[in-house]
Amino acid sequence: MASYPRRIGKNSTIVTVPLGGGDQPIVVTIGTLSIVEHTLQYNITTNPQVDHGTLGGEKITGNIVGATLYGVPTGTTLNIEVIAVGY
């Protein structure tokens, strides 16, 4: 069985929460990795500066990381960075 060196990769996305607010799905592709084994950290900033809600429901498929932010206020712009390890 081949052994692949593990690497750390990161990428970010910007999402604007539509009218009504609530739960916001997020999807981030880690282009420098073929397979994400697990996430190390999420860095979430908002504009305007508000509570970004609660992160949950993480799912990893290949090099794509998906999750949901629960309870995000309407009109919030989210800047989400995901740092992950994989190969």
pLDDT of residue 3: 73
- Whole-structure pTM value: 0.90
Domain range list for the chain: 7-86
List, for residues 41-84, the tens digit of each pLDDT value. Answer: 999 999 999 998 899 999 999 999 999 999 999 999 999 999 99
List, for residues 2-33, the tens digit of each pLDDT value. Answer: 577 999 999 999 999 998 889 999 999 999 99
CATH assignment of 7-86? 2.60.40
pLDDT of residue 16: 92
Burial class (CB in 10 A: 0-12, 13-18, 19+), 36: buried
Question: Which residues fall within 8 angstroms of residue 75, CB to CB, at 6 or more apart?
Answer: 16, 17, 19, 21
